[in-house]
Structures are given as C-alpha cells and as structure tokens.
C-alpha cells in the first residue's frame, strides 16, 4: 500500500448498509485513511454488500471482477457486509485477490483487521456467528447525508422468515441502551441535523438492555431532543407492532406520520408458509389502529409475489388487501431463493413468467391507488424539508413528513440549502410525487 493510506468504499443495499458504511468510513478515517472517489485512486478498495436478493449479490462479484486488474498494481480488496458473512472464506476462492472478508457483526474489530492488512496479511476474516451480543457503536461516524442523521438502535433478526437470509448474515437481535441512543441523538442535533431516522432490521423489536424505555417511549424521547423536528423509523415488523406506537405518533408532532409495515402477502396460508407468524386479520387490525389515529398516517409496505405454493387465489387475497389498506407506497418483489433459508426446500414451481405477470398486475393496481391518494393533496399546504434541486426543471426537491416526494418552485434564484423547511402549496399531483409552490 502507498505511504498515504487511501480507500474507496461502495455500498450496496439498504439504509442499514448505508449507515454501516458511514460508521466504517469514520473508523477508517480515525485510523489515518483518506477517502477517494474511485477505485483507481485507492490503495484499499471496499465493497459493503447486500444479499437480500440474488441480483444484489451477483452485482458485487461482477464489480470485483471488473476491477481485479487493479490488484496487480498493489491495491488491496475487502468485502464487507451480508455477502461477506454469507459466503465467508469461499470469497477467497471465488476472488483470490480479496484480502479482507468481514460481516457487519465484526465491524467493531476493523481497526485490528486494518493493522493486520497493513502488516501484509492476505486473508483476514471477521465472521462472528449470530450469537454475538456486540453492536457496532462508534463516535467516529462520518455522516454522508447533509440533512438526515441515522441511528441504528437494534441490529440482527430473530424472526427467521422462510425466505429471508438476514438472520444468518446479521446475527441475532441485539439492542443498544436507550441512554446511548439518546446521547447519539443529542450529538446529531448539536451537529445541526433536524431529522433523525432510527434503524433496525426490525426496529420496533427494540428491547432496552437496561429496561428503561419501550420502543414507543424511545420514539417520544428522541422526538423531544432539542433541535430535532422530525423522527422517522424503519423497518417495523407486524409481530412486534403495538398500539402505543400509533398513540405516541399522535401525541408528538415531531414523529413523522408515516409507517412502513411489510405485509409480504395478503394470504394467511402463505404468511404461515413464510413463517411470518401472523395472519392477514392480525395485520389488518394494526392497520385499523393507524387509520383511527388523529393524524392521517401514510402507509407503505413490502410484498413478495410468487412465493412457493402461492396459488392464483392467494394472489387475489393479496390484491384484496391492497385495495382495503390503500397504501401510499408498495415495494413489490418476485420471490427468489436465498442461501440457507427454509424456503429452499420448498418446491418453487411457479414459472418466472407468472411471477413477473403477478408483479406487474400488483404494481399497476398500486399505481392507480397512489394516483388517487396523491390527488387528495391538491391545494394542501404542507411542510417540506429540502433535499436538493432539479436544475433541469428549475425545481427544489424535498420530502413531506409523510415521506412523500415534493418538487416545487420558490420564485427565488437562490436555491434553499438542504435541510431547510418550507411551506409549500400543492398545485399538481402524480402517482409518485407532488408538485407545488413555496409560500
């Protein structure tokens, strides 16, 4: 490696991965590394990976293959995250030029692993099993988002849904103390952030190790940190979703009126096969709590089509649930088998063309629902936090408390800075965004 320690890091996957990368970057910088913008400039090339779907995993190996020629110039490669934990030392066999393989549960050991790398070791692994009680907490987080601060409050997953690889790559559920979360929230506010997003594979499964605060109480406490105007959280699991979460959103305006609650299927039979451990009626009861709230809560979800054994009638039940809930956003996916998951032994007899057709039908119906939902905002005045600008259209881009994208004009040649809050009157609507004018 060159005398000046440089690194390039690319992140694949979810917000949890993106925030893990912020903490990895901060740790590397603490160890004397400087971040650069391309693989060619870097002495150390890192890929923080996702394995939730096959394409995401394959993308990482394609990227490694594209840049393996750089190995001859003395560069070192590392694979981090879920693919690293899933594949382990097999990565060295598939990509012999990789020197470091570390799952997310081992990031706290990064300084030690970096020192070994600098000393010339070529095969370094950090692969904690899922039984670790450690979380990755660091004061050296290099926050990349200029307007939103992320805080991981719980890592891992104990749910073992039949299709999901996360329990095997992220380890068991382990929560941070509420005191450490609130301390980080105050640090974020002191840095000038006004929006916080609490993260976890199942964020509402949070259990304070000190027994002081429930998840709902923690939401309230973060929402009362001076300087914080918005608090979001993702992703929730229906099994651990309690009524007091809705009640606390009603009680504290700083808590955003948006909940993402993945349902995965509208068929109780398929939910049982997925090992989700709730029925569609159980799920709809929680939706009824949200619809009865004093504030209008925006709802979004995840749905998998084509899970092994899903019949046309099962799919119709999912479409019926879609019509009943009237989500503002749906992330739809075709089922794809993942390593180590229980669903691998199930017969995946649904043709790929049928899966694609069901997904298309689902998304087209959801687009109609969103078009109707978004049209209800016409003429409304809402608070929008600026996230950037679309110079081609002469618009400022931002997001409402309900997590809806808003593109608007200001009548000023000077664009407002990211993180600025503005009152915007909605003048036009689309299925995925709102258009308006700043007041």
pLDDT digits (tens, 9 = 90+) for 41-95: 999 999 999 887 767 778 888 888 888 888 878 899 999 999 999 889 999 999 9
Q: Residue 412 maps to which CATH number? A: 2.40.50.140
Does residue 2 register a pLDDT over 60?
no
Region 406-434: mean pLDDT is 96
Band (3; pLDDT cuts 50, 70, 90): low
Question: Is residue 84 included in any domain, yes or no?
Answer: yes
In this predicted model, what pLDDT tens digit does every residue of 182-198 receive, in sequence order? 999 999 999 999 999 99
Question: Is residue 271 included in any domain, yes or no?
Answer: no
Question: Is residue 35 included in any domain, yes or no?
Answer: yes
Q: Which of 76-85, 127-136, 170-179 has the lowest mean pLDDT?
A: 127-136
Q: Is the dihedral of CA 279, 317, 52, 286 positive or negative?
A: negative
State which of 93, 126, 159 marks the end of a domain: 126
The pLDDT assigned to 249 comes to 98
- Report whether 314 contacts 265 (CB < 8 A): yes
Does residue 28 register a pLDDT over 60?
yes
pTM for this one? 0.92
Question: Is residue 270 included in any domain, yes or no?
Answer: no
Does residue 391 register a pLDDT over 90?
no
Q: Of residues 131 and 143, which shows the higher confidence score?
A: 143
Q: Which of 8-17, 117-126, 133-142, 341-350 has the lowest mean pLDDT?
A: 133-142
State which of 126, 153, 172 marks the end of a domain: 126
SS (H, E, C) the chain: CCCCCEEEEEECCCHHHHHHHHHHHHHHHHCCCEECCCHHHCCEEEEEECCCCHHHHHHHHHHHHHCHHHHHHCCEEEEEEHHHHHHCCHHHHHCCCEEEEECHHHHHHHHHHHHHHHCCCCCEEECCCCCCCCCCCCCCCCCCCCCEEEEECEECCCCCCCCCCHHHHHCCCEECCHHHHHHHHHHHHHCCCCEEEEECCCHHHCCCCCCCCCHHHHHHHHHCCCCCCEEEEECCCHHHCCHHHHHHHHHCCCECCEEECCCECCCHHHHHHCCCCCCHHHHHHHHHHHHCCCCCCEEEEEEEECCCCCCHHHHHHHHHHHHHHCCCEEEEEECCCCCCCHHHHCCCCCCHHHHHHHHHHHHHHHHHHHHHHHHCCCCCEEEEEEEEEECCCCEEEEEECCCCEEEEECCCCCCCCCCCEEEEEEEEECCCCEEEEEC
The pLDDT assigned to 13 comes to 83
Q: Which of 1-10, 269-278, 354-363, 394-403 has the lowest mean pLDDT?
A: 1-10
User: What is the rounded end-to-end Cα distance, in angstroms, of the chain?
Assistant: 54
State which of 126, 147, 167 marks the end of a domain: 126
Does residue 406 register a pLDDT over 80?
yes
Q: Residue 103 maps to which CATH number? A: 3.40.50.12160
Q: Which of 75-89, 110-124, 134-148, 203-217 has the lowest mean pLDDT?
A: 134-148
The pLDDT assigned to 216 comes to 98
Band (240; pLDDT cuts 50, 70, 90): very high
The pLDDT assigned to 392 comes to 84
Region 205-210: mean pLDDT is 97
Does residue 1 register a pLDDT over 50?
no
Q: Which of 141-145, 270-274, 377-381 has the lowest mean pLDDT?
A: 141-145
Residue 414 structural domain: 381-438
Q: Give the number of domains in the chain.
A: 2
Question: Is residue 90 included in any domain, yes or no?
Answer: yes
Question: Is residue 67 included in any domain, yes or no?
Answer: yes
The pLDDT assigned to 59 comes to 84
The pLDDT assigned to 207 comes to 98
d(CA 331, CA 208): 30
What residues form DSSP beta bridges with 384?
400, 422
Question: Is residue 432 included in any domain, yes or no?
Answer: yes
């Amino acid at each position: 490696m060159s005398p000046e320690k440089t690194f390039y890091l690319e992140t694949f996957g979810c917000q949890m991965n993106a925030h893990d990368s912020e903490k990895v970057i901060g740790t590397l910088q603490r160890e004397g590394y400087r971040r650069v913008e391309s693989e060619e400039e870097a002495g150390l090339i890192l890929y923080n990976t996702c394995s939730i779907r096959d394409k995401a995993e394959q993308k990482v190996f394609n990227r490694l293959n594209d840049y393996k020629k750089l190995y001859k110039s003395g560069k070192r490669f590392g694979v981090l995250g879920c693919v690293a934990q899933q594949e382990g030392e097999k990565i060295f066999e598939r990509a012999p030029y990789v020197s470091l393989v570390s799952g997310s549960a081992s990031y706290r050991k990064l300084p030690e692993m970096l020192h070994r790398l600098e000393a010339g070791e070529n095969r370094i692994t950090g692969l904690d099993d899922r039984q670790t009680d450690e979380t990755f907490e660091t004061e050296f987080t290099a926050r990349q988002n200029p307007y939103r601060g992320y805080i991981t409050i719980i890592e891992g997953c104990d749910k073992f849904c039949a299709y999901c690889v996360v329990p095997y790559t992220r380890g068991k559920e382990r929560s941070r103390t509420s005191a450490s979360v609130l301390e980080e929230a105050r640090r974020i506010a002191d840095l000038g952030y006004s929006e916080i997003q609490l993260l976890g594979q199942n964020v509402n499964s949070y259990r304070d190790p000190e027994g002081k605060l429930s998840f709902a109480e923690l939401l309230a406490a973060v929402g009362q940190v001076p300087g914080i105007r918005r608090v979001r959280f993702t992703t929730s699991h229906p099994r651990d979703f309690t009524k007091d979460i809705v009640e606390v959103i009603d009680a504290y305006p700083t808590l955003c009126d948006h909940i993402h609650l993945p349902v995965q299927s509208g068929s109780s039979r398929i939910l049982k096969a997925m090992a989700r451990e709730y029925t569609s009626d159980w799920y709809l009861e929680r939706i009824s709590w949200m619809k009865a709230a004093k504030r209008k809560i925006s709802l979004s979800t995840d749905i998998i089509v084509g899970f092994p054994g899903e019949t046309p009638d099962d799919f119709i039940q999912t479409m019926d649930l879609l019509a009943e809930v009237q989500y503002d956003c749906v992330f739809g996916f075709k089922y794809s088998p993942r390593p180590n998951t229980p669903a691998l032994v199930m017969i995946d007899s649904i043709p790929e063309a049928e899966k694609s057709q069901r997904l298309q039908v689902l998304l087209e119906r959801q687009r109609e629902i969103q078009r109707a939902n978004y049209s209800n905002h016409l003429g409304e005045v809402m608070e929008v936090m600026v996230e950037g600008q679309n110079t081609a259209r002469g618009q400022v881009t931002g997001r409402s408390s309900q997590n809806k994208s808003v593109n608007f004009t200001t009548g000023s040649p000077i664009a407002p800075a990211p993180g600025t809050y503005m009152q915007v009157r909605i003048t036009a609507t689309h299925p995925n965004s709102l258009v308006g004018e700043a007041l």
